[in-house]
Amino acid sequence: MNEKLKLLRDFMLEYNPSVPEEIDTSMQIIADLGFNSLTLIELVNDAEDRFNVVFEDEELAKIQTVGDILGMLEQKGASF
Amino acid sequence: MKTYTNIPAPDKKIVTTYRELLEKMVDSRPDMPLISLLNYKTNEKKNIMPAEFLHSVDMLGRWFAAHGCKRDNVAILADNSYEWILTMFSVICSDNILVTLDKGLEMPSLEYIIENSDSKVLLYSAAFAEKAKTLAEKYGLDLYAIEDISQFIAQAEELPDNGKIETDCDAPAILMYTSGTTGLPKGVILSQKNTLSNLQYAAMQDDYSGDSVYLLPLNHIYGLGSALLITFINRNTVTINTNMRYMMNDILAGKPEILFIVPLFVQTLYNAFRKFLKAKGLADKIDAMIAENNRKGNVTAAEKRAMFAEVLTFFGGRLSRIVSGGAPLDMESCNGFADFGITVLNGYGITECSPVLAVNPIVNNKPESVGKVIKSLEVKIENPDENGYGEICAKGSSIMMGYYKNDAENAKSLIDGWFHTGDKGWMDDEDYLYICGRIKNLIILANGENVSPEEIEGFIYQQIKAVAEVVVYDKNGHITAQIFKNDDYIQENGIEDAENYIRDAISALNLKLAIYKRIAEVEFRDTPFDKTTSKKIKRIL
């Protein structure tokens, strides 16, 4: 697991204690990591402050996998 | 233990049509906003007054009539919005039938519902434009964007006034699809009187009045009925959340006195509140105060709210009651809210009962129960076992008219006027109901969604031929598929790592399913499932 993925995993853990030790970009946030629609929204909202980025409302609907959120963070120049 | 109760309806006039309800709002509370909407960009609030709302309902109804809609089934596939509520009232008040579509549904289910419901018209919001167009082309629907409603109203204002449209309170008014145990959704037919009588009697159970914030999807009966209409019935203002991302903004702006939500929200709001206390460095101090209150044992809810008033501004500062329904209540968050003087009232409803069957009163709240059976309903526990546990059955003015075009299900569910809920429960001597299981095979998720395991199994059989047998079940709140592999298919197709192949196929299938139906866990078994004599899989794992 690379450093950014590890940081994202630690951040996710604050919202859902069942996030496994090892995650990969293909994992689905709801189906595989056990988030629900509300904790996912909370995660994305708080990720704006934590990583200093802005997610548009339309982007939220596109987030399904760990790779989706990681990709968006990288694309937005997130401060990891 | 009781097995039957019949709590008579109070001798009080109730309204039986949606227009009558609105007229009453206009007369009794002309200057109090009916609906409030927050602009998430500017943080400005827009209030809709009763007379303005009734005028828009009439105009949109006139527009529907001018477009030839009369006793037509009008479907709606849209995000929560003011226009959604306006459409609902207008369709019903113009003597048409509203078909509510779950926006999370995958295309095959939407197609089934549109076809089965005989819908003629489809209203959609921008996010569903593509799906709506596909449906309209396939089923020849008249298609309208909900965002254009203000234009329709303006057009209607230019049309001749043909007077008020009369409606029959006992005729079908809403067609709402619910998960069926056979895998196919069932259309529940509700009249205006069904829903309105149910909610007015439910509102008389105790004081559920107060301004509210609407957080549930509008296509759900619990949200639509309880959270929206009860607030109207109680003559309060409801702030409508139109984007879950801004739930807390709506709560802060709407300053709710009462919330009607599902257990998932109760839990999420409580967790968010605890996180807020921790972030403010107040958690230890507050926990000590709570421990002291518990030691004293006689601190009232009002005193607790006063004591914690500063931090309770997290919920707008006025919240005193939360009604929870749709799924089993999480007792930790229920007790957690009680520590702050916020009473969580567990309730129980089902679409077919329009929806409330029981709800807890504020005084003598028994959170482990789903509350007291509401007035006007007869409830019995059928075939109770030695513990008094049996199927909960209900009879009364709020029981559905039947399932749409589904005689087989009607014959099974409605027997001598008694609706068989499929839920197993018992009743105490004070008419409180307790749920202790299900007779029908449905998975009830914490967000109140009902998932039919057979429907998901159907998708797996259709799309993953490497699966010979599958049973989908609820494993600690996660939808889990237990699979017996199809070795013949696997060998014939040279599949090397069959379990990975199936897991990948399940992941691909998940992307096509509504989020709440997605399979979270896959298990494999070495032997086929046990079967009944008719070769059906025994579902007990």
The DSSP 8-state label assigned to residue B31 in this structure reads T
| pLDDT at position B540 | 66
Same domain, B265 and B370: yes
Same domain, B334 and B412: yes
Same domain, B426 and B475: no
Cβ atoms B448, B423 nearer than 8 A: no
pLDDT tens profile A8-43:
999 999 888 889 999 999 998 987 888 888 889 999
**CA atoms within a 13 Å half-sphere pointing along the CA-CB vector of B516:** 18
Question: Which tokens go with B54?
Answer: 């009734």
**Cα dihedral: B251, B253, B255, B261 (round 10):** -30
| pLDDT at position B280 | 95
Same domain, B419 and B480: no
Contact with chain A for residue B464, Cβ under 8 A: no
Domain with residue B474: its CATH number is 3.30.300.30
Contact with chain A for residue B214, Cβ under 8 A: no
Same domain, B230 and B302: yes
Say if the Cβ atoms of B510 and A45 lie within 8 Å.
no
Same domain, B318 and B457: no
Same domain, B303 and B210: yes
d(CA B541, CA B539) in angstroms, rounded, equals 6
Same domain, B429 and B518: no
Same domain, B434 and B456: no
| pLDDT at position B23 | 97
Q: Please give the tally of structural domains in chain B.
A: 2
Domain spans of chain A, in order of start? 3-75
| pLDDT at position B309 | 98
Cβ atoms B401, B172 nearer than 8 A: yes
Contacts across the A-B interface (CB distance below 8 Å): 41
d(CA B368, CA B462) in angstroms, rounded, equals 41
Contacts of residue B47, Cβ cutoff 8 Å, sequence gap at least 6: B33, B35, B36, B237
pLDDT surpasses 90 at A64: no
| pLDDT at position B462 | 85
Contacts of B80 in chain A (CB under 8 A): none
d(CA B268, CA B277) in angstroms, rounded, equals 14
Identify the three-state secondary structure at position B415.
strand
Helix (H) or strand (E) holding B437: strand B432-438
d(CA B235, CA B224) in angstroms, rounded, equals 16
Same domain, B497 and B418: no
**Is B391 part of any domain?**
yes
Question: Which tokens go with B137?
Answer: 């082309």
Same domain, B423 and B483: no
> Per-10-residue mean pLDDT for chain B, 541 residues long?
89 94 96 97 96 98 96 97 98 98 91 97 97 98 98 96 94 92 86 96 94 95 89 95 95 97 93 93 97 96 98 98 92 96 96 96 94 94 92 96 96 95 93 87 81 87 92 88 94 94 92 86 91 68 63
Chain B nearest-CA distance from A10, in A, is: 16
| pLDDT at position B477 | 80
Question: Which of B131, B215, B244, B511 is most worth mutating to test chain A (most A CB atoms within 10 A of its CB)?
Answer: B244
**Is B314 part of any domain?**
yes
| pLDDT at position B180 | 67
The whole domain housing B278 covers 1-17+191-439
Task: From B384, B410, B439, give the residue that closes a domain.
Answer: B439
**Is B237 part of any domain?**
yes
Query: How high does pLDDT run on average in chain A?
Result: 90
Contacts of B247 in chain A (CB under 8 A): 41
Same domain, B433 and B353: yes
Domain with residue B241: its CATH number is 3.40.50.12780
Fold of A3-75: 1.10.1200
| Cis before B361? omega within 30 | no
Write out residues 46-75 of A within 8 Å (CB-CB) of B. 57, 60-61, 64
**Is B483 part of any domain?**
yes
Cβ neighbours, 10 Å, residue B344? 25
